Chains A and B, each alone.
Chain A
Amino acid sequence: MLEVKNVKKSFGDNQVLKGIDLKVNKGDIIVILGPSGSGKTTFLRSLNFLEKADSGTMDFDEIHTEFSNASGKVIIKVRKKTAFVFQNYNLFQNKTALQNVMEGLVTARRVPRKESEERAKKALDKVGLSGRYDYYPYQLSGGQQQRVGIARAVVVNPDILLFDEPTSALDPELIGEVLAVMKSLAEEGATMIVVTHEMSFAQEVASRIVFMDGGVVVEEGSAREIFTAPKEERTRQFLRRIIRDYDYVI
């Protein structure tokens, strides 16, 4: 469904992505792991052109494009086929939960208002926010805001959902509710690319794990392969550090 090759990106003379390849099939749950600063966010943002990669190619269903010279039309097309869930939610502050979820339907896709509202309500119900349609973002907890963020992404039926550390801005007791929503999406067959530090989520849900470090993909494999028999020393080191912290938190 989606295949990107040799994605490169520099900020000044800081090369952040040094040629990333990734292939995504329908129904894949790809979890990207890696230390902070390894380029995970930049890569994810490049996929829907929030960041403009310097080079590389994208094949996305009928779309074939270079990252460097993608036209405005292609960019909008890709954005309509994907949806992004942000680390700090980025809900529209001037809109209610329901309006946040409707916006992508009504304005971007010209879906009639009535149908949009029904679909948006269904999406909010699904993430457990049926009583919060008319709340503004500042009236919701972080976990609720992020679930609105997920509903806003899901409602447009994107081909691929992109999650950038969706739980890392949340208080520990609110993480579970968001992960539960993501798990149920995975069970329904959604295609997702998830950057996260939640190892239990990665272990349970990922169909493939990609370990990134220093702007390259160091290793890639099933959850079992990565967690029980990592081939690369860098992967091992990272897991040891993360799992120790993880134990420590518990």
Chain B
Amino acid sequence: MQLNTEFMRQTLIDVLAGVPVTLKLTFVTLLLSAPPAFWIALGKTEGGKNRGKISGVYVSVVRGTPVVVQILFLYSLLPTMLNYLIKNVFRLDFNIFNIDAVWYAYIIFILNTTAVLSEVFRSALLAVDGGQLEAALSIGLSRRQAYMRIIIPQALMSALPNICNTTVSLLKNSSLAFMMTVKDITAIAKVKAAYGYNYIEAYLVILLMYVILCSVVQGIFRLLENAVSVRRRAAV
């Protein structure tokens, strides 16, 4: 078998244009998912009954279904639903079917990642010794201050490895955005491949691309983890 290297070079150049799309999809989703995920995690650990129950259903639906199915379902449901809301509830003159598909990708990935992260944060919060909160309250901190200054920093530190895993799997899942016509690296490679039937070459390029991106993400998190523990050690 002979690989068409010139085609691969061309594909690589084209695919690079999709890298920012993939990264943006990953990190914007991550940032926007973190606050609601924390809110859900706190609801579960702090025992707010209804909040815990509703978020429990949400989390198990998301975790118990394949991402592909979530995309298929929501991508067919959302535009119709939003259109109905805009036309009949808000009575706006706005065509929902004209908006960029990337917004749907964000909504779906945020819904998904929020559920995953909420579990990550929940176990991290539970890992913080209960005496930490009591000590904070006992010196006069409010609950909110105690969480902001004592509990959450400790939880984040112990959650770093799991946040890294979540980020990597989100980055990989973002490849499914092609189903929503988002031009990420996978979508670009698919188009190139179909054009000249060079499937193997095109997919080999993005396979390597994902390996590189995931390694970089893991490397960054490793640096972050080291920085956290070095800062503690350097203080001596």
Contact = CB atoms under 8 A, between A and B. Distances in A.
Interface stretch (B32-40, B44-52, B142-150): B142-150
A167 to B, nearest CB: 17
Contacts of B129: 90, 93
B235 A96 contact: yes
Contact of A103 (B131, B141, B142, B236): B141
Contact of B134 (A82, A90, A103, A107): A90
Contact count band on A: 20 to 34
Interface in A116-169: 134-136, 139, 152-153, 156
Contacts of B153: 94
Interface in B56-81: none
A156 B140 contact: yes
A86 to B, nearest CB: 6
A92 B153 CA distance: 11
A88 interface: yes
A104 interface: yes
A91 interface: yes
Contact count band on B: 20 to 34
A79 B154 contact: no
B135 A86 contact: yes
B207 interface: no
A136 B232 contact: yes
B236 A135 contact: yes
B4 interface: no
Contacts of A80: 140
A83 B139 CA distance: 6
Please indicate which of the listed interface residues A94, A108, A136, A156 has the most CB atoms of chain B within 10 Å of its own CB.
A94
B234 to A, nearest CB: 10
Given A88-B131, A90-B131, A103 B149 contact: yes
Contacts of A90: 129, 131-132, 134-135
B126 interface: no
A86 B134 CA distance: 9
B235 A48 contact: no
Contacts of B137: 50, 79
Interface string B144-169: 01000110011001000000000000
16 contacts: A48-B138, A79-B137, A79-B138, A84-B139, A86-B131, A86-B134, A88-B131, A90-B131, A91-B135, A93-B132, A103-B150, A107-B141, A108-B142, A135-B235, A135-B236, A156-B140
